[in-house]
Structure 1
Amino acid sequence: MDKKQREEVVANKLPLREALKDKTLIKREMIAGVTGFFAISYIIIVNPMILKDAGIPTDLSVFATIISSLVGCLIMGIWANAPVILTPGMGVNAFFTYTVVVAMGLSWQEAVAISMVSSVIYILIAFTKLSEILAKGIPDALKAGITAGIGLFLVEIGLEKAQLIQQGKNSILALGDMTKPATLLAIFGLLLTLFLFIRNVTGGFFIGILVTSLIGILFGIKDQASPSVGIGDITKYSAIVAKGDFSRIISIPFILACFSMTMILVFESMGLLEGIMPNPKKFKKAFQASSVTSFISGILGTSPTVAAAESASAIESGGRTGLTAIVAGMMFAISMFFIPLLSFVPQAAIAPVIIITGALMMNQLSRINMFDFSDWFPAFLIVVLIPFTTSISTGLAFGFVTYPILKIAAGKVRELTVATYILGVLFLCDLVLSALL
């Protein structure tokens, strides 16, 4: 391979089959894949813990998380040839659990059905010109607001799991009991994980969870309902496979949840891929790979997969082709033999990762022009209403409805697109129908 071809690989333009002919490039892609896996490996523990609150058995959800990640990485690597890791998304799993199941009162089986229907719509958008229309037509301020709002929601969830905040007697929230061993353990885990992250330690999140869990074991700090599962339990996994309940598919709650989840999947994935892809020309295929995997994840019994923000660590390590994603997928497969260790991981060890991940997602606020109030305020509503109402769909609705109104009031009608008008009307209908339920 000559110098020009190597430069094409660096620019992420060389086909995967050509990159596989160079041993030096293979080594670099493999290192990038392993790095990316360790950066996102906490999802194997965190996702089942969140979905547990929706009623999905933790010991089975672990298999769903691993298998959907494996499938997603293979599809991304082979179809899109992109160094992007797909796993059940942080944020959309919170919507799945805390909005659809906890707040709306639907079952986890209905939530799975909602995920699958939403993914079908996502696929239709990804494989048609609608993806290009939305990518160009939706304001960056709203895309950034969605990611930041979901991030703040995750921070709230993480703080609750760490018992650093609790329901207040004279206020909505209050500081938790700082004398509890679990709370002190979570604070230690947060400081340790932050230190590792700031120092750019490879797999810092994973190390933080591991060390915090070991200290928890040493001092006897363990959750009452810790998962206990081994590779032999995979025979029970079929209990959550293809269990989507479509019996209420024409009901208003089902339709509203589908609309909201579709918006989350489309715009969160769109914003993330646009931000981390080394080669923008591969966006469309990566977007398509993400949509297909999100549908498959529903069949596999978990919340939808999305592009992991931690893919950036793989890209920074030199990942440029789909081999990076394929290697990460293989690492997920290998991890299945080590899941018995999950029984020793308390929520106090998971909480720091959720908090930091949420904070990282809030970095998107830097993309918003806060000196233009007609840009900032709709995004602001999304950011604050998602955690305050514990409903991602409510935050999205207020943001998308307010944006065109403020632009018209500011005399900036030219900044509006047909897409913003249509989505504004749809979200307004969503708010009205939700209020009437």
Structure 2
Amino acid sequence: MNRLKKIWAESKEEVIAGITSFFAISYIIIVNPLILADAGIPINLSVFATIFASVIGCFIIGFWANIPIVLTPGMGINAFFTYTIVVNMGFSWQSAIGISFLSSLIFLFISFTPIVELLTEAIPSTLKTGITVGIGLFLVQIGLEKAQLIQRGSNTFVEFGSLTNPHALLSIFGLLLSIFLFVKKINGAFFLGIIFTTIVGVLANIQDAATIDVKLEYLKDYSSILFKPDFSQMFSIPFLLAVFSMSMILIFESIGLLEGLIPQPHSLRRGLQATSVTALISALLGTSPTVAAAESAAGIESGGKKGLTAIVAGFLFLLSLFFIPLLTYVPQAAIAPVIIITGSLMMKQLAVINYDDFTEWFPAFLIIVMIPFTGSIATGLSFGFIFYPLMKLFSNDQKNQNKIMYVLGLLFLINLIFSSTI
């Protein structure tokens, strides 16, 4: 009887965690299609691709890896897909899908071979900590932007928002409520915070404007973006460079995200395998590659420890097909507090960095600041991975370092130069 009660309590916690993770990342259903629209993929069809990729990803990682991670088309890599590959390089969206497919195939090969162990073991713990903290700070920035507590400044890059803004006030209310519930150790604190803040927003008529007109009947046209990878230019230098760059982003962003998020480090390999398989499938579904959502941390902080969290999130993505208009009732101001608190909790890893060795903590520092300042996890990783071996060379400490780090540093340098010159 006691065992049954324990199983029920754990299952209930996982369900709440899955719901929390879903709401924290649910904006991707709207935002991803808006970004991919600039690549030429129809918004009303891209919504279905985003949902289906997320459903499949959550089920695969939940059942196969048994970890509480949500897989969705990634923010950052969707911008690379659209604005670098299509807009800047001039590829069609079908060619960009082909690039995504080949990059995911490379990622899949690495994740199912011993190469993945060589890579994960070669990365120093300092850099892994920097990745976790950098993603946490990035989440805080995203949350503050969603809360409209920070905005693009007229004389600076960022400035404080206005307290006369009802969205900002609602966010502050939600932040205080969520912190109160979390400190009091109320089960499902983050989820309850989202629900109550949403109710207050509806009563006060503080809502985000609906940006996408999607009806289930549009599903009949979805086949027009299915199975559309174009490999006609695959032997051209720009195509191959794009495949290389996207492969680097997929592999190391996924390693960094999963290293920073999963509570069971031994599950990393299966998590990477699930991520690579889903990224490959997402290309066939007509969307940019899937990655582990940093917002999964919200579910983990709510008690998610196993794959049931991801599976619950997957079912909610599936149900969202029928309730997409209702998601517009959940304002960004209700989601923002959860993201801010989650990001702040990830930053506590700063305590484990060895500050006595400048060559160790400075590369981690670069990752931590460059991820939010550039708005790109991949760029932040590049700076950390480039500077780490350089610092060891400068200090004549290269003999004790894994040689793979020097290869990775060179690859990240090539990727950074390529990404910034096109």
Counterpart Cα distance in 1 of 2:125 and 2:420? 28
The aligned amino acid for 2:126 is: A
> Which deviations, in whole Å up to 9, do the C-alpha atoms of 1:218-241 show, x marking residues without a partner?
222233344454655544554554
Alignment correspondent of 1:172? 157
Q: Answer whether contact 1:141 1:379 (CA < 8 A) is retained.
A: yes
Alignment correspondent of 1:13? none
Alignment correspondent of 1:181? 166
Counterpart Cα distance in 2 of 1:157 and 1:128? 35
Q: 1:223 aligns with which of 189, 201, 208?
A: 208
Alignment correspondent of 1:369? 354
The aligned amino acid for 2:75 is: A
When residues 98 and 332 of structure 1 are mapped into structure 2, their CA distance, relative to the original with a 3 A threshold, is closer
> Which deviations, in whole Å up to 9, do the C-alpha atoms of 1:25-76 show, x marking residues without a partner?
8746643541331221214522124325514477655544443333233323
Q: Answer whether contact 1:115 1:304 (CA < 8 A) is retained.
A: no
**Structure 1 residue 41 corresponds to structure 2 residue 22:** yes
Q: Counterpart of 1:299 in 2: which secondary structure?
A: helix
> Which deviations, in whole Å up to 9, do the C-alpha atoms of 1:194-249 show, x marking residues without a partner?
33333444444333333333322222223334445465554455455445566665
Give the aligned length.
408
Q: Counterpart of 1:344 in 2: which secondary structure?
A: coil
Counterpart Cα distance in 1 of 2:325 and 2:178? 23
Q: Answer whether contact 1:70 1:332 (CA < 8 A) is retained.
A: yes
Question: With structure 2 as the length reference, what TM-score do the two structures score?
Answer: 0.81
Counterpart Cα distance in 2 of 1:355 and 1:159? 7
**Structure 1 residue 276 corresponds to structure 2 residue 263:** yes
Q: Answer whether contact 1:123 1:292 (CA < 8 A) is retained.
A: yes
**Structure 1 residue 143 corresponds to structure 2 residue 143:** no
Equivalent residues in 2 for 1:240-259 (5 A)? 241-242=226-227, 250=236, 251=238, 254-255=242-243, 257-259=245-247
When residues 151 and 83 of structure 1 are mapped into structure 2, their CA distance, relative to the original with a 3 A threshold, is closer
Q: 1:294 aligns with which of 266, 279, 299?
A: 279
The aligned amino acid for 2:165 is: K
- Percent of aligned positions with the same letter in both sequences? 43
**Structure 1 residue 417 corresponds to structure 2 residue 417:** no
Q: 2:336 aligns with which of 337, 345, 351?
A: 351
When residues 205 and 99 of structure 1 are mapped into structure 2, their CA distance, relative to the original with a 3 A threshold, is farther
Q: Answer whether contact 1:189 1:348 (CA < 8 A) is retained.
A: yes
When residues 311 and 402 of structure 1 are mapped into structure 2, their CA distance, relative to the original with a 3 A threshold, is same
Q: Answer whether contact 1:64 1:302 (CA < 8 A) is retained.
A: no
Please state how far the C-alpha of 1:117 moved relative to its aligned partner: 3.4
When residues 326 and 430 of structure 1 are mapped into structure 2, their CA distance, relative to the original with a 3 A threshold, is closer
Please state how far the C-alpha of 1:138 moved relative to its aligned partner: 0.9
Counterpart Cα distance in 2 of 1:387 and 1:398? 13
Question: With structure 1 as the length reference, what TM-score do the two structures score?
Answer: 0.78
Equivalent residues in 2 for 1:9-408 (5 A)? 27=8, 30-43=11-24, 45-56=26-37, 63-80=48-65, 82-88=66-72, 93-102=74-83, 105=87, 113-227=98-212, 229=214, 231-235=216-220, 237-238=222-223, 241-242=226-227, 250=236, 251=238, 254-255=242-243, 257-272=245-260, 275-277=262-264, 281-300=266-285, 301=287, 303-306=289-292, 308-310=296-298, 312=300, 316=303, 326=311, 329-408=314-393
Counterpart Cα distance in 2 of 1:138 and 1:42? 32
5+ residue gaps, structure 2:
none
When residues 70 and 345 of structure 1 are mapped into structure 2, their CA distance, relative to the original with a 3 A threshold, is same
Q: Answer whether contact 2:68 2:310 (CA < 8 A) is retained.
A: yes
Please state how far the C-alpha of 1:424 moved relative to its aligned partner: 0.8
Q: Answer whether contact 1:33 1:328 (CA < 8 A) is retained.
A: no
When residues 99 and 173 of structure 1 are mapped into structure 2, their CA distance, relative to the original with a 3 A threshold, is farther
CA RMSD of aligned residues (A): 3.6
Q: Answer whether contact 2:151 2:160 (CA < 8 A) is retained.
A: yes
